[in-house]
Amino acid sequence: MSDFVNGFWGIFISVVAVGGVLWCVWLLYTQRRWLGAKPAAGQVEDTGHVWDGDLTELNNPVPTWWTWMYLLACLFALGYLFFMPGLGSYKGQLGYSSTEEVARHQAQMANAVRPIYARFETMTVPQISQDAGAREIGQRLFLNNCAQCHGSDAKGGPSFPNLTDGDWLHGGSPEVIMKTIKEGRHGVMPPWKAAIDAKAAGDIAQYVRSLSGLTADPIRVFRGKREFGNFCVACHGVDGKGNPLVGAPNLTDDVWLYGSSEASIVKTILDGRDNRMPAHEHILNPEQIKVLTAWVWGLSNKPEGAGDVQAVDTKAVDTAAVGTAAVGTAAVDTAAVDTAAVGTVAVGTTPLAK
């Protein structure tokens, strides 16, 4: 409440809050003749409502105890608004802040888990990926922060990359994965609708399909190859194998981020793609990012003794376990994010994103 920066809304909320309590007091005052009055024996009025022929609703006055509880509730409300930050920009006499409380809890959690992460400080990412305890922590970090987009089995879905197949838009080294988790990615495939018509886009789609061994029309492939050379080689290369420096995907393998159908490829060519992998350096601390990097890297570089990732019921995961970033959070402000995908090396869909 006290973080309001717009003066009007601060005043508006204060007036409504205090006015509401005062209205309750005024309402009680206007009905005072009904409060505490005790009718003489046999003189109790009824409302005229009768049920089952003999059950009459009486019109007894309000009990005294109810009146006092009503007044105490009004006094409590005024006291709360005085001591706590409930009136717009007013911070309250006690100086309470939920933001500071969360920060305090996060600091307590960080202190509690610091000894656990300390043993990974001198280890490399490949070494961490072979540690059973680190893999367990990394999986919980993934489930708390990444599974919303990449799935509990890390195999992704449309527009969210599969992290288990070894196909990376920006490279799959530990350093690149860590950079992506920390800083995020913004992948853009520019729309070509202004320069390429639907027929030419369809021919390019046929050629692109042929690069990865999919069924394609030979005549359209011939035409599409010419158009590909005119518009696509700058990012994807003459051989169609992409360029990790700009996040241009390899068009010759069988990995497709948006689907391999002609319609999907044509849509990508004409309308482009704009996708983001949000940064998580403000959500996860460096130690957590390192362990998460090792877990993600290990998905396509299987350490000895590690099996395939199985889908997990994320509702059953203990969010207070070692892997969580903060008390009572599941990453984002939610915000975020809208949400948030942490463990990818390329949510970003760059030129002719697959």
> Tell me: the pLDDT tens digits for 23-70?
999 999 998 877 766 666 667 778 888 888 889 888 777 788 889 999
Instruction: Give pTM, 2 decimals.
Output: 0.64
pLDDT of residue 2: 54
pLDDT tens for residues 79-118? 999 999 888 888 889 989 888 999 999 899 889 988 999 9
C-beta separation of 320 from 258 below 8 A: no
| Alpha helix segments (H runs only) across the chain | 7-30, 64-83, 98-118, 125-129, 132-145, 147-150, 174-183, 198-211, 218-231, 233-236, 262-271, 286-300
Q: In DSSP terms, which residues pair with 51 in a beta bridge? A: 55
- Residue 86 is predicted with a pLDDT of 86
From the list 266, 270, 268, the residue with the least C-alpha distance to 257 is: 268
pLDDT of 317 > 60? The answer is no
Share of the chain above pLDDT 90, in %: 58
- For the chain, the distance separating the N- and C-terminal CA atoms, rounded to the nearest angstrom, is 45
Q: What pLDDT, on the 0 to 100 scale, is given for residue 176? A: 96
Tell me whether strands 185-189 and 273-277 are parallel, antiparallel or unpaired: antiparallel
CA distances from 25 to 19, 20, 74, 181 (A): 10, 9, 7, 55
Q: Is 24 annotated as a binding residue?
A: no
Spell out the long-range contacts of 176-179 with Cβ–Cβ below 8 A and sequence spacing 24 or more.
176/345, 177/293, 177/296, 177/297, 177/345, 178/125, 178/289, 178/290, 178/293
Give the model's pLDDT for residue 302: 73
Phi-psi category of residue 186: left, alpha or beta, with phi > 0 → left and psi -120 to 50 → alpha: beta
Binding residue per annotation — 74? no
Can you give the pLDDT at residue 36?
64
Q: Could you tell me the CA-to-CA distances from 118 to 128, 155, 295, 341 in Å, in that order?
A: 12, 30, 17, 26
